[in-house]
Structure 1
Amino acid sequence: MSTIVVDTAAKHNQHGGVRAGAGRKARIAGPKIVKRIPVSLIPAVEHLMNQLVATPLRPAQHLPADCWKIADNLTRLNIPLATETIPAGFPSPAEPYISDYLDFNQYLIKNQAATIAVRCGGDSMQDAGISRNDLLIIDRSLTPKHRDIVMADLGNEFTIKRLYKLDNSRIELHSENSSQSYPNFSLKEGDTLAIVGVVTYVIKHIR
Structure 2
Amino acid sequence: MVLDFIRQSIADRGYPPTLREIGARMGIRSTNGVNDHLRALERKGYLTREDMKSRALRPTAHSSGEAQNDSAMPSPLEDEDVIDVQVLGRVAAGLPLFAEEHIIDTVRVDRGLLKGGREVFGLRVQGDSMIDAGILSGDYIFVRKQLTASRGDIVVALIGDEATVKYYYPEKDYVRFQPANKSMAPILVRAVDFKPTMLLGVVVGVFRRL
The structure, 1 or 2, with the larger RCO (C-alpha pairs under 8 Å, 6+ apart) is 1
Q: Which has the larger radius of gyration?
A: 1
Coarse TM-score class (shorter-chain normalised) = 0.3 to 0.5
TM-score (norm 2): 0.47
More helix, by proportion: 2
